Each structure stands twice: as C-alpha cells, then as structure tokens.
Amino acid sequence: MRHALLFSVFIIASCGLAYELVAGALASYLLGDSVTQFSTVIGCYLFAMGVGSWLAKYITRDLIGRFIRIELLVGLLGGFSAIGLFLVFTWLPGPFRLVLYLMVFGVGVLVGLEIPLVMRILKRELAFRELVSQVLTFDYLGALAVSILFPLILAPHLGMIRTALLFGLLNVAIALWALHLFRQHLPERRWLAGQCWAVFALLLAGFAGAGQLTTLAETAVYADDIVHAESSPYQRIVVTRWRDDLRLHLNGNLQFSSLDEYRYHEALVHPGLAGLPGAKRVLVLGGGDGLAVREILKYPQVEAVTLVDLDPAMTRLFSTAPPLVALNGRALNSPKVTVVNADALSWLETDQGFYDFVVVDFPDPANFTLGKLYSSAFYRLLEKRLAVRGRIVIQSTSPLYARQSFWCVVTTLEDVGLKTAPYHALVPSFGEWGFIIASRESYVPPAIDAGKTRFLTPQTTAALFHFPADMGRLPAEVNRLNNQVLVRYFEAEWGAVTR
C-alpha cells in the first residue's frame, strides 16, 4: 500500500505540472509574450498550492473519501482546461485572462490539498522523517518527468487539448486505485465508484473527440476554413483558405495572405538584392514559408541560398503541401537551396560562411525569445558573416503602429557600426510595414527590374524610403540582450492599437 501511494504522488505531481504547462503554453499561443505568461501562470499556481496546503488542515475526517473526490475535481477541471480556455478566448475574449487565472488558481488549490492528504494517510506506516523525504522525492520526480515529456512528446504529438485530457484521466485512475486500495474503509464505496466512472467516461469521451473539439475551437477563432493545423514543439501552425486566399497563422497571429504577400516579400528582397549584381551567396534567417526565397531565386547570379528556420514542421509543410509549394514556386525544393532547422543565434555562433545578401525575416519582437534576435549582440554576429560589400535587410514591424519599436531597430543596427536605410511599404493585410537595409556602405535605391515584380517599379521603390511625419524618426534606446527594451516598446505600442 505504501508503494502504491508513493507512486500516486508521482502521478499527482505529473498531472499538476502538466496542467500548469498547458495553461502557460496556451496563454503564450493566444496572448503572446511567453515569458510573462509562464511567469504569471507559475506564480499564480504556486500561490494557489500554498492556499490548498493551508486549507488541508481543515479536512479532519474521511481523508480517503475526500482525497478521491479531490482527484476527480482535479481531473475534471484540469482535463477540460485547454478546450475551455480555447472556447472562452473564441467566444468571450474579454474575460479570458480572468478565466485563465481562476482555472490555474482552482487547479493549484486542489493540487495543494492532495499531498498533505497523502502524507496524513501514510503517516501510520512511515516515520515522519522518512515520510517527508519519500513523498517529496516522488513529487519532484513526477514534476521532472512531465517537464521533459511535455515539450518533446506531449505538446507536439498530442496537442494541448489531448494532453490535458490525458492527465485528467490519470487523476481519475489514481482515484479508482485509491478506491480499490481502501475499499474496506469506505462505507459509500459504490457511490464513489459511480462518480469515478462517470468522470472517467466524460474525460475519455473528450479525449476521443479531441480532434472535433480542437476543430470547433479553431473554427470559431478563424473566420476562414482551416485546411491544415498542427502543433510543433515551437508553435501552433494553422493554414486557412477562403476562395483563392490562403493564410498562414502562427500561434494565432496572421503571417501572410496569399492575396498580397507578394507586396511584403518583394519589398523585403528586391530593394536590397537588385543593387548587388555580384551577389552569389544568400542567407535567409526565418522565412520558413519559402516566399522570400522565391523572390531571391529570380536573380540568376545567386548560386546558393541557405535558409535557417527553427521549426522543421514549417519548412516541411512549405516544401510538400501542394497549394503552399505552388505559392512559393517550389523554392524550398530548388537545388540551390539548403534548409537548416536551428536557432538562428546559435547557428550564427558556429557558422563560418560569408554572405553577399542576408534576409532577416523573423516574427515581430513580441517576447524576449524573439527580442534577442533584434539585439545588438545578434547584429554583431550577423555583421561578422557579411561579405565586404554585402547587405542585410530586416523586417522591422510597422513604423506607423509601432513607431518607436521600428526606430529602435534602426538605432540598434547603427550602434553596431552599420549604415542604415529604413523604408516602408503598404501591405493591405497588415497596413504600413517597415524594413531596414543595413550595410557598411551608404545605400542608393537601385533600378528595379519590373519583369521580376508585381508591385515594385523604379519609381515606387525610391518612394519607399521617404517617411511622412507620423512615421518619422523617434529617439529610442539600443536593444541589448540585458535590457530587451524593444520588447517593452513593442508591447506598449501594439497593446495601445489593440485596446
């Protein structure tokens, strides 16, 4: 019995941490800024566990029956937490944060009740010193196990909804096991058994129908038909279609619309590359959709393109799915293209190549993980890999909606000794969007070959480098790894737009 209860502690700890990780990951997907979301979720959860442990002293009778009912409540609340949060975000986005923290607090209180009850049940079989040691050992081992399994197996292969439901089923399994172990001490055993099997059946039905539940939640989030959806270890990838419009969403954020993405990618590539007739080696950081590579391959002098994107699920999708391969012109399947799936900063630290043209096409600096890729430290690494007369172009968010953020990127590039040429283009799906060309030499807008573009002409290209008064330069600090000021600028400016 002692070993069975200690194993139960292992499972209980795994379940509690799993619900916490699901809540943090979902909040990051839906709200952005993973550091803030995980920090606040963990803080709320640990505080709630403390409250639960304090409340445990008021449970003075029927310890086993109360323990079983707590397991059922944890299984229900935690198991259905992911789909509940998805649906609240879809249908009632206003109170989403309140529901998120109430759910985390509720699970935390219940988990905080579990361990003290198990210790009180075990105290007749173990001395106090051994009791505390063994219970806490199994508690920490359970937390370690799920912290490893969650990013490597559970999130990418089961998804958030099935992962939460799976651990809900494990909580109910613990309740059924306790019911069996202590059957002689439970006068209302049949009633408890009925409750256990009812909750188990409900969670099992949810697990079996998780695909439909996910589709229901995401269909409500996205106005268009979902044609592809998957969770990788790094992000939630959703592709939607409405008539001829294909759209890519990462963690709920629109990345492109096929109706106007050519404006963005032409503006990203051609103003920098058109003036480099000798450019042979090109590096693309981010841009796993292959759309920037499509534009680069329009220049016959380019001999080799290295694409570095963190997520293999992205590059696999855009090199195999027929509609997406057609959109990028089979760019990722070109013999000139080498795809590397790695963290760009880590890869740059070890790469020994030199590049005539570098395209930096990362998502906006909405969190500290992305903010490091806009830092002075990152740009210094990048400058070392730049050929003598090479150029870098960087997507740099909107100079209209995130004006100080945009000019912060300019300031940071200049701080590392590069000369900058900021410019902007109108992309209907996003509004005014900003880019920066950086090099060791002064930049002169080149003559664009209209045969390569649908949007840019020699006249319109020159106009991109002129900023109206409401997008003009603002003073901004340098974005360094130790201050990440750009992330704070970005949160404040886009937060004001979305309020």
CB 23 within 8 A of CB 100: yes
Q: Is 252 buried (19+), middle (13-18) or exposed (0-12) by CB count in 10 A?
A: middle
Q: Could you tell me how far CA 480 lies from the centroid of its own chain?
A: 22
Active-site annotation holder among 361, 364, 449, 470: 361
How many Å apart are CA 406 and CA 429, to the nearest integer? Answer: 18
Query: Distance from CA of residue 444 to its chain's centroid?
Result: 38
CA distance 361 to 348: 15
Nearest CA to 47 out of 91, 1, 107, 108 is that of: 108
Q: Which helix (H) or strand (E) holds 379?
A: helix 376-384
Nearest to 381 by CA among 369, 368, 372: 372
Q: Using CA atoms, how far apart are residues 12 and 190, in angstroms rounded to an integer?
A: 24
Longest distance between any two alpha carbons in the chain, whole Å: 88
Residue 473 contacts residue 407 (beta carbons within 8 Å)? yes
What is the spatial distance between Cα 284 and Cα 359, in angstroms, rounded to a whole number? 5
* Three-point CA angle 220, 240, 235, nearest 5°: 85
Q: Is the separation of the CB atoms in 118 and 12 below 8 Å?
A: yes
Nearest to 360 by CA among 385, 327, 324: 385
Which candidate, 189, 136, 158, places its Cα nearest to that of 79? 158
Does 361 qualify as catalytic in the annotation? yes
Query: Please, is 392 exposed, middle or buried when counting C-beta atoms within 10 Å of its C-beta (0-12, 13-18, 19+)?
Result: buried
Q: Could you count the other beta carbons within 10 Å of the beta carbon of residue 389?
A: 12
Q: How far is CA 151 from CA 86, 163, 355, 429, 437, in A?
A: 20, 11, 34, 32, 36
Query: Using an 8 Å Cβ cutoff, are 395 and 362 in contact?
Result: yes
Residues with catalytic annotation? 361
